[in-house]
Amino acid sequence: MTKAELIEGINRLRKEKNAVILAHYYQTGDIQDIADVVGDSLALAQWAANTDADMMVVCGVNFMGETAKILSPDKKVLIPDLEAGCSLADSCDATAFERFVKEHPDHTVISYVNTTAAVKALTDVVVTSTNARKIVDQFPCDAKLIFGPDRNLGAYINSVTGRNMLLWNGACHVHEQFSLEKLVNLKKQYPDAKVLAHPECKATVLTVADVVGSTQALLNYSRDNEAQTFIVATESGILHEMMKSSPNKQFIPVPPEDSTCACNECNFMRLNTLEKLYNCLLNETPEVFVDETIREAAVKPILRMLEMSK
């Protein structure tokens, strides 16, 4: 099928089936352009909790599909490619995490949304990169907190909130590999540029950033700030929306350490294609399922997050 036929087919099927298409900012431009909503992890979860569509296609990675299913168990939740995992979620095995939690029984467990449903089920409150600081700030200063699985986001939140949360030792393979050296060279080359970085990046990268924030926060800053050039240290899919919002500004993605790869693109996110999206709507598969016992435990910390981030 041609791209035009795929687009026509997707538009027809979503109408016939009362389906909505949710896309993360790290999806390819053609998927972002056809989606009903494009957003960061928090926005997608908020949408999933409130939509009255019968069916949702979550164009992102597995944990995003699971979060949607946990929040809307009566809806059919589809994901174009079930292989779209997440190295950060994979860095936190539920059995090992449970052991860690049990070793610290007097701690409140805060988990980043980039986790499996089984890890969320062991959690007191879920956070995203948009609301992590706001939610941690709502706990007393001396509260004993565990934060998993991202050590970089956890360390960053510790530094800005003055906490000393116990951190799980996980990371994202995309954000960990941004080259500080190449970033510093770009800063020299573009002295007026603002550096935007996602908090999953290493502390060395965050210290040279002008703004640290979620994909949505970085996008908002690039739109609202008067600077004309931005050096961007996060998955390069975000550039699509940045360029759409500010067509006259310049956006430069920070290259990875290894310049022979395109590893500032998340290989999991990029598994989704227009063709898979079309087939997914047509065949209503792959569908996301979450074990009901796990779902009942996992929904509580997600709802708590939605409440605490109001």
The yes or no reply on residue 61 touching ligand SF4 (CB under 6 A) is yes
CB of 86 to ligand 13P, least distance (A): 7
Nearer Cβ to ligand SF4 (195/266):
266
Residue whose C-alpha is closest to residue 88's, from 23, 168, 172, 157? 172
110, 123 contact by CB (below 8 A)? yes
Could you tell me which residues come within 8 angstroms of residue 197 by beta carbon, excluding any fewer than 6 positions away? 178, 205, 206, 209, 211, 212, 218, 233, 234
Among residues 20, 59, 172, 186, the one that binds ligand SF4 under rule CB under 6 A: 172
- Tell me the C-alpha distance between 147 and 38, whole Å: 27
What's the min distance (Å) between Cβ of 5 and ligand SF4?
A: 29
The three-class DSSP label of residue 298 is helix
Q: How far apart are CA 14 and CA 99, in angstroms?
A: 43
Determine, following the binding rule CB under 6 A, whether residue 115 of this chain makes contact with ligand 13P.
no
Which of 214, 246, 272, 309 is the binder for ligand 13P (CB under 6 A)? 214
Q: From the list ligand SF4, ligand 13P, none, which binds 264 (C-beta under 5 to 8 Å, kind-based)?
A: none
CA–CA distances in Å: residue 236 to residues 25, 46, 67: 9, 24, 24
| Residue 40 in contact with ligand 13P, rule: CB under 6 A | yes
**Residue 129 and residue 153 in contact, taking contact as beta carbons nearer than 8 Å:** yes
For residues 41 and 72, which CB has a smaller minimum distance to ligand 13P in the complex?
Answer: 41
Q: Given the DSSP bridges, would you call strands 108-112 and 76-78 parallel, antiparallel or unpaired?
A: unpaired
Least distance in angstroms from the C-beta of 59 to ligand 13P: 13
- Assigned token pair, 262: 């395109």
31 scored as a contact of ligand SF4 (CB under 6 A): no
The reply on whether position 241 binds ligand 13P by CB under 6 A is: no
Output 114 or 279, the one with its CB closest to ligand SF4.
114
Of residues 215-254, those binding ligand SF4 (CB under 6 A): 235
Residue, CB closest to ligand 13P? 40
Under rule CB under 6 A, which residues in 109-128 are in contact with ligand SF4? 114
Show the tokens assigned to 158.
């510790």
| Residues binding ligand SF4 (CB under 6 A) | 61, 86-88, 114, 172-174, 235, 266, 268-269
